[in-house]
Structure 1
Amino acid sequence: MDDVTIRPAAARATKTAPAENFTGTVLQDAYAAPTATSRTSATLVTFAPGARTNWHTHKTRQVLVATLGTGMVEVRGKPPRILRAGDVAEVPPGVVHWHGAVAGHLFAHISFLEIEGPDNNNWMEPVDEAHYRKVAVAPEA
């Protein structure tokens, strides 16, 4: 390729994230998919208040760029971390974590991953509702 490729926003369809890997309403808009020359995936993920991923890992580093609202990321066994627009979280390969909106807040981030085959993500159990209610409270700004 010797030119810039532009994919108009109208050409991309937003899809609902699969219920087996997410709790609540989560929308995904694929910005970039891996191609023969690149393994990069970039997806805008929008979480309704209270929505979140299941616990999971990735084979490669995940970079989350918060774009809207208030969310969080939690590594299993560690305190959760708040994410606000402009914050960037880097999750190392193999680290068990979840991310999503805090209670009562909309949240969106762009997830960047390098994909290594169809099983790049290892999806686990949902975040327990009692655990979520305990940790998913946004501190005052």
Structure 2
Amino acid sequence: MYRKSHQIAFHPQANKDEQLYKSEICHKMSSYTSNVSIKKRDTTIKAPISPITQHGRAEGAASISSEAFGTFVGQVWLDPMLKSGDDITVVNVNFQPGARTNWHRHDKGQLLKVTAGSGWVCDQGQKPKRISVGDVIWCQPGGIHWHGADDGSYMVHEAVSLGGIDWYDPVTEEEYAKKTA
């Protein structure tokens, strides 16, 4: 026989005389649940409608030096991450101090996210704006601009380019110097 200390109140409002033993509670509870139907949930994993695509640098592949393109001033390394036809290009770009893009435009715009260092971005006809780690910059579709590292800092940014790119003249030393004028 159980001692009183093993008795449990079946209901919070039950008084001490109405306490039940654990075995009695189990018996009462089983009578409640025996008539309940349990429906199992379908946990089948179905294939996604559109496959997930993973891109990355091919094993052993190296970053590409900007010298091969002629679209940068100074030393820049490009690390292509995604090329989806002519619509979307994602590139990790590492600028050495003072390096920058030529003037250029994107048909559908460009998103830049600075991941290291600091630099500048400049729309044609405007004064350059300082950018640094964590900044996200939207370059308007068709807007002619340049971007690159500060004189005393490397800069790394991820560039998501939408649509085609038209490249123009290099950014001159005089144009680059306007960032501090």
1:63-99, CA deviations, whole angstroms, 9 ceiling, x for partnerless residues? 0000000011000111211111110000011111000
**Unpaired runs of 5+ in structure 1?**
none
Distance (Å, rounded) in 1 between the aligned partners of 2:58 and 2:180: 32
Q: Which residue of 2 aligns with 1:126?
A: 170
Distance apart, 1:30 and its partner CA: 0.6
- Pick the aligned partner of 1:80 from 128, 133, 149: 128
Q: Quick check: 1:14 aligned with 2:63?
A: yes
Q: Which residue of 2 aligns with 1:135?
A: 179
Distance apart, 1:126 and its partner CA: 0.8
- Pick the aligned partner of 1:23 from 55, 64, 73: 73
CA RMSD of aligned residues (A): 2.2
Distance apart, 1:130 and its partner CA: 2.1
For residue 44 of structure 1, give the secondary structure of its aligned residue in structure 2. strand
Q: Quick check: 1:34 aligned with 2:78?
A: no
**Unpaired runs of 5+ in structure 2?**
1-49
Distance (Å, rounded) in 2 between the aligned partners of 1:19 and 1:41: 16
More strand by share: 1
Q: Which residue of 2 aligns with 1:98?
A: 146
Letter in 2 for 1:130: E
Question: How many residue pairs align between the two structures?
Answer: 131
Distance apart, 1:125 and its partner CA: 0.8
Distance (Å, rounded) in 1 between the aligned partners of 2:107 and 2:57: 30
Structure 1 residues 6 and 52, CA, compared in 2 at 3 Å: closer, same or farther?
closer
Distance apart, 1:104 and its partner CA: 1.4
Runs of 4+ in structure 1 deviating by more than 4 angstroms, as ranges, are none
Superposed counterparts of 1:38-57, under 5 Å:
39-57=87-105
More helix by share: 2
Distance (Å, rounded) in 1 between the aligned partners of 2:128 and 2:72: 18
1:23-64, CA deviations, whole angstroms, 9 ceiling, x for partnerless residues? 0000000111115xx932110000000000011111111000
Rg bigger for which structure? 2
For residue 84 of structure 2, give the secondary structure of its aligned residue in structure 1. coil
TM-score by length of 1: 0.82
Q: Answer with 63-72 or 10-19: which moved more.
A: 10-19
Is residue 12–residue 29 contact of structure 1 (8 Å, CA) maintained in 2?
no
Q: Answer with 1-10 or 73-82: which moved more.
A: 1-10
